[in-house]
Amino acid sequence: MAEVVVLESETDAGILAAASIRRLISQKPDAVLGLATGSTPMSTYRALAESLRADPLDVSRVRGFALDEYVGLPAGHPESYRAVITRDAVEPLGLTPGNIRVPNGDLATLETAGSDYEAAIRAAGGVDVQILGIGRTGHVGFNEPGSSFASLTRVKTLTEKTRIDNARFFMSPDDVPIHCLTQGLGTIRRARHLILLAFGEEKAEAIAGAIEGPVTSSSPGSVIQLHPHVTVLVDEAAASRLTNLDYYRYAYANKPAWQVV
Ligand code: GLP
C-alpha cells in the first residue's frame, strides 16, 4: 500500500517531497521527473529550489515530462502548462529547458501528439518519480472519472467541475479549454515512484477515494493502489476523511530507519 504521511503543513510536505527528489538526483544526475502543475506541487518546487540554493547540486542533466497540457491555447499563452511548468519549476530549479517536454497541444499535430509523447517517455527510459496532485473530481493529471487504468497519453474532455476549478487562472470560465492532452493512468502507473500530494478540506474526499476507496475508474486517483511504490503527503485537512488514519500515523512513527521516502 501507499505510504501515507500526514504533515502539519503544506510547507512540511514540500520539504519531504523535495528531499526525496534531491536524493534521486544525487544518485542519478539525469533522473527523469514527472512534473505536475497546479497549486499543489508549488511547495515541493519551492523547497527544492531553496535546497539547491543552499547546497548546490548539478541539475543540468535532469529531464522532465509534464503530466498534461491544454489543447488549442495559442503558443506562449501564460496559462498553457508549457508556460506554467517553465515559470513554476524549470526556472526556479535551474533545469535545462531543452530537457523538459510538455505534451503538444497544437491542433495541427494533435492526432499524433499522444503517441509522440509516449515514445519520448519510453526513449528517456521512463519516469523515475512522478509528482501528482489530485482534483476535486478525483482526477490525476487530467484523467477524469471513467479514465481507463490502461490509458496512455491522449486527448480528454475536461468536466465542467474541473473547468470551473481552473477558471481562476483564466479571464473567464469560458476561456478554459474544453480539451486537454494528458498522460494516461497507464502512463502514470509506469513511473517508478509516485508522490501524491494534497492539501485542504476540499481534497479530503478525493484522497479518501484514492487511498481507501475501491479501485475504480470512477475514482482515477485509486490507480495508486495498483502501484508498488507510492508516497502520499497530505495535511490534516486533506487526511480528515481517511478511516485508517491511526494506522498510517503509527506506521510512519515506526518507520524503519533505513527506509526513505
Ligand atoms: C489540475 C491539473 C492536475 C492537478 C489538479 C489539482 O487541473 N491538471 O494535474 O493535480 O488539477 O490542481 P491544484 O493542485 O491546483 O488543486
Q: How far is the CA of 198 from the centre of ligand 1 (A)?
A: 10
Mean pLDDT calculated for residue range 22-34: 98
pLDDT score at 232: 98
Q: Are 70 and 105 in contact (CB under 8 A)?
A: yes
Q: Average pLDDT for residues 156-174, to the nearest whole number?
A: 94
Residue 240: pLDDT over 90: yes
89 confidence band (pLDDT: 50, 70, 90): very high
pLDDT band at 261 (very low <50, low <70, confident <90, very high): confident
CA 53 / ligand 1 centre spacing (Å): 27
| pLDDT tier at 120, thresholds 50, 70, 90 | very high
Q: Which domains are assigned to the chain?
A: 3-253 (3.40.50.1360)
First to last CA, the chain: 14
Question: Nearest to residue 101, comparing CAs of 77, 81, 130?
Answer: 81
* 3-class secondary-structure state, position 71: coil
CB-ligand 1 contact for 68 (6 Å cutoff): yes
- Are 57 and 130 spatial neighbours (Cβ–Cβ below 8 Å)? no
- Residues 31 and 63: beta-carbon distance below 8 Å: yes
Q: What is the mean pLDDT of residues 237-260?
A: 95
Is the pLDDT at 43 greater than 90? The verdict is: yes
Q: Which residues are catalytic?
A: 68, 139, 144
Cell of 45: 518546487
Q: Rounded distance, CA 33 to CA 35, Å?
A: 6
CA distance 6 to 238: 9
Report the distance separating Cα 261 and Cα 259, nearest Å. 7
Dihedral sign, CA of 207, 211, 214, 215? positive
pLDDT tens column, 47-59: 999 999 999 999 9
Which of ligand 1's atoms lies nearest the C-alpha of 180?
8
Per-residue pLDDT band at 1 (split at 50, 70, 90): confident
Q: What's the gap in Å between 141 CA and the centre of ligand 1?
A: 7
Cα–Cα dist 141/163, whole Å: 14
**pLDDT at 254 > cutoff 90:** yes
Average pLDDT over residues 11-29: 98
The whole-number pLDDT of residue 125 equals 98
- In angstroms, rounded to a whole number, what is the distance separating the alpha carbons of residues 11 and 178? 32
Protein residue closest via CA to atom 12 of ligand 1: 38
Q: Which atom in ligand 1 lies closest to the alpha carbon of residue 38?
A: 15
Which of 10, 37, 201, 205 best tests ligand 1's pocket when mutated (most atoms within 8 Å of CB)?
37
Q: Is the CB of 133 under 6 A from ligand 1?
A: yes
Residue bearing the CA closest to ligand 1, atom 9? 141
Q: pLDDT at position 200, please? A: 98
Whether ligand 1 lies within 6 angstroms of the CB of 44 is answered as no
Does the beta carbon of 37 sit less than 6 angstroms from any atom of ligand 1? yes
Q: Any idea which of 103-107, 135-139, 235-239, 243-247 has the lowest mean pLDDT?
A: 135-139
Q: Where are the beta strands (DSSP E) in the chain?
A: 3-7, 32-35, 63-66, 68-70, 100-101, 129-132, 154-157, 179-182, 193-198, 230-235
Q: Is the CB of 141 under 6 A from ligand 1?
A: yes
Q: Name the nearest CA neighbour of 188 among 220, 215, 233.
A: 220
| Nearest Cα residue to 200 out of 71, 59, 43 | 43
Strand order across the 154-157 sheet? 68-70, 179-182, 154-157
17: its cell numbers:
517531497
Report whether residue 166 contacts ligand 1, using a CB cutoff of 6 Å: yes
Q: Residue 69 corresponds to which cell in the numbers above?
A: 497540457
